[in-house]
C-alpha cells in the first residue's frame, strides 16, 4: 500500500505547498493524509489528493481563512465560487479601508508640501440620485455632530455617499472618473441641500459636475456654477460592518415587495404596538414574513396565537416610509436574517444603493 502512495515531499512538489504547510493542514483537519506509518509517523497521500492540495495552495496564497479553506476543499464548485466572491469582497473592502486610513494618517503629518487634490467628474443625474437616496438618514441630534452631514467617500472609480442617525443607515454610489488619492469628506447637511438645489431636476441631469477635494476643502462646479464648502472636522463612524453581506454570504431572506402597496398600507394602518424608548412612547410597526416570502403588516390581534414559522421584525414605521420613498421604484427587496439583525431595503436593479433600519426588539 505504501508504495502506491506519495510522500509528503512529493505532494509538496506537486501542489506548491511546503512540507510544513501540509503538516499544518493535516493538524487542522483540512488535508488529512490517506495513511500514516504507525512506526515512523510518515504521512502518505493518494494521487486524488493532489488537486485538493493545489486548491488549498491557491486559497492560501490569496489569504482565505483556514475555516473557509476547509469548507472549500469539501464543497461543490458552485460553493467554492461563492466563497471566492465573498473573500474578494472582503479584500476589496479591506483595501478601501487601508486607503482611507492612509489618507487620514497623511492628513496628520506635518508637511511643507501642498496636499494633493482629488478631482472627481460625474453627471449631475447620478449625483442627485445618490443625494436623494441618503438625505433622509442624516442625524439631527446636537450631541452627535459627526452624524450631522453626508459622508463623501471617494475611492477607485466612484463616490459613495453615506448618512446615518444611528437608527438607520443609507448608502448610495455614483460612478465617476476619479483622479487623485482616496479621500473622505463629511459635508454639512446645509451644503448637501444647497448642492442638491444646484443640481436641479432630473431632466437637467446630463450636466457635468466636477468635485475637487483638498484636505477639508471641497469645491463643486456644476456647469460653471461653483459651490465651496468646508468639511466637518469629525470622524464619521465606520459603517462597513453594517453593510449587507459584510461578512460574506447571502441574507437568510430576500423578499420582493410591492413598494406602492407597502407605502399605502403603512399610511393607512396603525402601529402594531408601542414600546418605550428614552422615556418616550415609541410606535412599532411589525412586518411578518411567512413561508411563501409574502410580506404583511401585523395588527395587534396578529400577535396572539402567532404562526411560529413566520419571521417577524419590528421597525419604526416612519423610518420605513422614509426609506421606501428614498429607494423609489415600484418593486423593492427586503433583506434580513432574523428579528434582531438590521433590515435592508434596496432596489433590485442597483446593488450599491440601499438603506438599513435597526430593528426594534419585540
Tens-place pLDDT, residues 206-232: 788 999 999 889 999 988 889 999 999
CA distance 271 to 298: 9
- Domains in the chain, ordered, with CATH? 2-74 (1.10.1660.10), 118-230 (3.10.150.10), 244-357 (3.10.150.10)
State the pLDDT at residue 298.
86
343 burial level (CB within 10 Å; 0-12, 13-18, 19+): buried
**306 pLDDT tier (thresholds 50, 70, 90):** low
Average pLDDT over residues 224-252: 75
Q: Report CA dihedral (45, 48, 54, 59) to the nearest 10 degrees.
A: -100
Q: For position 247, what pLDDT does the model report?
A: 44
Band of the pLDDT at 150, cuts 50, 70, 90?
Answer: very high
Least confident range of 109-113, 243-247, 336-340: 243-247
- pLDDT score of 246 more than 50: no
The set of cell numbers assigned to 137 is 438618514
What pLDDT does 1 receive?
47
Residue 264 grid cell: 399605502
Cα–Cα dist 164/220, whole Å:
23
Residue reference for cell 439631527: 140
pLDDT one-digit tens code per residue, 308-338: 778 888 999 999 999 999 988 789 988 887 7
Using alpha carbons only, what angle is made at residue 274 by residues 336 and 327, rounded to the nearest 5 degrees? 40
> How far, in Å, CA of 234 to CA of 71, rounded?
42
In whole angstroms, give the CA distance from residue 332 to residue 264.
Answer: 15
Percent of the chain with pLDDT over 90: 38
Q: What is the pLDDT of residue 202?
A: 47
pLDDT at 112: 60
Q: Which residue has the higher pLDDT, 289 or 34?
A: 34
Across the range 39-51, mean pLDDT stands at: 89
Amino acid at each position: 500500500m505504501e508504495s502506491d502512495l506519495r510522500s509528503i515531499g512529493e505532494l509538496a512538489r506537486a501542489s506548491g505547498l511546503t512540507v510544513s504547510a501540509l503538516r499544518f493542514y493535516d493538524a487542522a483537519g483540512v488535508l488529512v493524509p490517506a495513511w500514516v506509518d504507525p512506526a515512523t509517523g510518515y504521512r502518505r497521500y493518494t494521487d486524488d489528493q493532489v488537486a485538493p492540495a493545489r486548491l488549498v495552495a491557491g486559497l492560501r496564497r490569496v489569504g482565505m481563512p483556514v475555516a473557509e479553506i476547509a469548507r472549500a476543499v469539501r464543497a461543490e464548485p458552485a460553493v467554492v465560487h461563492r466563497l471566492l466572491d465573498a473573500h474578494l469582497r472582503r479584500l476589496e473592502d479591506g483595501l478601501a479601508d487601508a486607503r482611507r486610513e492612509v489618507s487620514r494618517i497623511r492628513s496628520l503629518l506635518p508637511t511643507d508640501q501642498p496636499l494633493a487634490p482629488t478631482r472627481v467628474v460625474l453627471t449631475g443625474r447620478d449625483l442627485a440620485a445618490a443625494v436623494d437616496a441618503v438625505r433622509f438618514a442624516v442625524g439631527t441630534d446636537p450631541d452627535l455632530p459627526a452624524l450631522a452631514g453626508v459622508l463623501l467617500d471617494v475611492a477607485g472609480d466612484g463616490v459613495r455617499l453615506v448618512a446615518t442617525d444611528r437608527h438607520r443607515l443609507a448608502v448610495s454610489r455614483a460612478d465617476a472618473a476619479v483622479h487623485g488619492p482616496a479621500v473622505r469628506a463629511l459635508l454639512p447637511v446645509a451644503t448637501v441641500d444647497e448642492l442638491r438645489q444646484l443640481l436641479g431636476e432630473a431632466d437637467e441631469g446630463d450636466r457635468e459636475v466636477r468635485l475637487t477635494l483638498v484636505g477639508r476643502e471641497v469645491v463643486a462646479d456644476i456647469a460653471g456654477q461653483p459651490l465651496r464648502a468646508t468639511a466637518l472636522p469629525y470622524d464619521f463612524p465606520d459603517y462597513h460592518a453594517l453593510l449587507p453581506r459584510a461578512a460574506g454570504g447571502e441574507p437568510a431572506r430576500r423578499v420582493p415587495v410591492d413598494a406602492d402597496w407597502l407605502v399605502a398600507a403603512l399610511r393607512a394602518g396603525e402601529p402594531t404596538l408601542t414600546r418605550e424608548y428614552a422615556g418616550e412612547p415609541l410606535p412599532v410597526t411589525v412586518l411578518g414574513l411567512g413561508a411563501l416570502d409574502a410580506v404583511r403588516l401585523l395588527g395587534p390581534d396578529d400577535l396572539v396565537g402567532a404562526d411560529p414559522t413566520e419571521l417577524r421584525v419590528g421597525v419604526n414605521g416612519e423610518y420605513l416610509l422614509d426609506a421606501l420613498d428614498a429607494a423609489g421604484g415600484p418593486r423593492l427587496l427586503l433583506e434580513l436574517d432574523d428579528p434582531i439583525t438590521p433590515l435592508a431595503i434596496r432596489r433590485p436593479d442597483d446593488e450599491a444603493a440601499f438603506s438599513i433600519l435597526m430593528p426594534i426588539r419585540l
